């Protein structure tokens, strides 16, 4: 009887600690969240590197550095929003709520893809003005991050389109 009581208490404690299981998380959701979290860590490091470089630079070089920094932050805002929507879809408590969030997520993923590509193109276009070695290194790392993130967001969009019957193009 004591063993049964302990097992029931353990079961109750585990049930209280876990989130309600509604079957909302899809197969690829967890891997997409982890991939976005990994890229967010890289983006944070690059943001810090840019701020250090801006602080160390002369006034005449700061404009280009701030421009690069602002482009990274702007593009990353769209990625963060997509990640928040994905997490909201996973934690939705009803099928109707999930469908609404995933529709918004699909639209946000399309916009994020466009914005990531625009940012990458702008950074490439202005790469000729980046004469500092450290700035060039960071710009290259940002370009790599944007390309990798486009792949992840593309997978996210494709996953949403499988369930929402849409085309995955931005």
Summarize pLDDT for 19-44 with one digit per residue, the tens.
444 445 576 889 999 999 999 999 99
Contact 32, 158 (CB under 8 A): no
Instruction: List, in sequence order, the alpha helices (H) in the chain.
Output: 2-17, 29-56, 59-90, 95-125, 133-164
Domain range 26-164, CATH architecture? Up-down Bundle (1.20)
Contacts 24+ apart (CB under 8 A), 102-107: 102/160, 102/163, 102/164, 103/164, 105/156, 105/160, 106/157, 106/160, 106/161, 106/164, 106/166
Of 24 and 96, the structure prediction assigns the larger pLDDT to: 96
| pTM of the full structure | 0.78
The pLDDT mean for the chain works out to 84
Closest CA to 33 of 91, 116, 97, 117: 91
Q: Evaluate the CA torsion angle 118, 120, 121, 127 in order and state its sign.
A: positive
Spell out the domain ranges in the chain: 26-164
Angle at 123 (CA atoms; ends 121, 127), nearest 5 degrees: 120
Q: What is the largest CA-CA distance in the chain?
A: 78
Q: Evaluate the CA torsion angle 132, 134, 137, 143 in order and state its sign.
A: negative
Residue-wise pLDDT for 101-147, tens only, equals: 999 999 999 999 999 999 999 988 876 555 578 888 999 999 999 99
């Amino acid at each position: 009887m004591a063993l049964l009581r302990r097992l029931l208490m353990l079961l109750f404690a585990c049930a209280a600690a876990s989130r309600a299981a509604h079957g909302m998380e899809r197969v690829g959701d967890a891997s997409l969240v982890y991939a976005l979290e990994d890229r967010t860590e890289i983006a944070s490091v690059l943001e810090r590197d840019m701020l250090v470089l801006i602080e160390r630079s002369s006034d005449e070089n700061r404009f280009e550095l701030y421009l690069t920094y602002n482009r990274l932050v702007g593009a990353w805002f769209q990625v963060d929003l997509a990640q928040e929507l994905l997490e909201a879809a996973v934690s939705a408590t009803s099928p109707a709520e999930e469908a609404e969030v995933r529709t918004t997520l699909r639209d946000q993923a399309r916009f994020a893809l466009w914005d990531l590509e625009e940012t990458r193109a702008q950074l490439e276009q202005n790469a000729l003005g980046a004469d500092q070695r450290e700035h060039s290194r960071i710009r290259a790392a940002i370009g790599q991050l944007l390309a990798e993130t486009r792949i992840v967001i593309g997978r996210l969009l494709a996953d949403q389109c499988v369930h929402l019957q849409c085309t995955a193009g931005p």
